[in-house]
């Protein structure tokens, strides 16, 4: 991420009057375990912003936001949003849709409006920590701000006991 992108995320926070803040760490935080350790919080308070794209249909994209200690069920996300089968988005798609590179994608402030689904477990927290635009920053934000600013649907979108849901 370049300084311009960092300024864009900071501007977004100010423009929307958020109590959110960017937190810099002394260590790189590209993964949930590293971020949780650097922040001194459980992995369940770190959220992953995952970008998906259509497996066979180009042009369809979606974002799922889940807690760091869970795995997203792509089938549920696709079904809820009425999209075809989804796969993890390619790095260039992530940048095109969010404006940020993998490893630092924040849950808000994306350059494109795409459907977003937030897992119900994210809402259980007063504050969560998501990507802060690069591997050296995390964004402290309320789940309600994430839902409001992304116009997200809130639903159960995680895998349970390793069994994939057919719904």
What would the 3-class secondary structure string for 21-67 be?
EEEECCCCCCCHHHHHHHHCCCHHHEEEEEEEEECCCCCCEEEEEEE
Looking at residue 166, what is its pLDDT? 39
Looking at residue 167, what is its pLDDT? 37
pLDDT at 3 over 60: no
Q: How many CB atoms sit inside 10 A of residue 56's CB?
A: 8
Looking at residue 161, what is its pLDDT? 62
Average pLDDT over residues 128-140: 93
pLDDT at 150 over 80: yes
* Comparison of pLDDT for 126 and 26, the residue scoring more: 126
Per-residue pLDDT of 54-76, as tens digits, reads 887 677 899 999 999 999 999 99
* Comparison of pLDDT for 159 and 164, the residue scoring more: 159
Per-residue pLDDT of 6-46, as tens digits, reads 778 899 999 999 999 999 888 888 889 999 999 999 999 99
What residues does each domain of the chain span?
3-155
Looking at residue 84, what is its pLDDT? 84
Give the containing element (helix H, strand E) for 130: strand 128-131
Interatomic CA distance for residues 123 and 14, integer angstroms: 23
Looking at residue 4, what is its pLDDT? 53
CATH of 3-155, one of 3.90.960.10, 3.40.50.2300, 1.25.40.80, 3.40.50.80: 3.90.960.10
Looking at residue 5, what is its pLDDT? 61
- The answer to whether the pTM exceeds 0.85 is yes
């Amino acid at each position: 991420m370049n300084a311009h992108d960092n300024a864009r995320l900071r501007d977004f926070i100010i423009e929307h009057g958020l109590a959110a803040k960017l937190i810099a760490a002394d260590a790189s935080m590209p993964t949930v375990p590293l971020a949780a350790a650097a922040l001194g919080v459980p992995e369940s308070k770190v959220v992953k912003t995952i970008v998906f794209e259509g497996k066979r249909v180009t042009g369809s994209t979606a974002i799922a936001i889940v807690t760091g200690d869970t795995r997203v069920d792509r089938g549920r996300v696709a079904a809820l949003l009425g999209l075809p089968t989804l796969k993890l988005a390619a790095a260039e798609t992530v940048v095109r849709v969010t404006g940020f590179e993998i490893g630092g994608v924040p849950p808000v402030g994306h350059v494109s409006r795409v459907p977003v689904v937030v897992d119900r477990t994210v809402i259980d927290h007063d504050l969560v920590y998501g990507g802060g635009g690069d591997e050296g920053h995390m964004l402290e934000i309320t789940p309600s701000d994430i839902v409001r600013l992304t116009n997200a649907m809130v639903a159960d979108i995680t895998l349970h006991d390793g069994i994939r849901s057919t719904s």
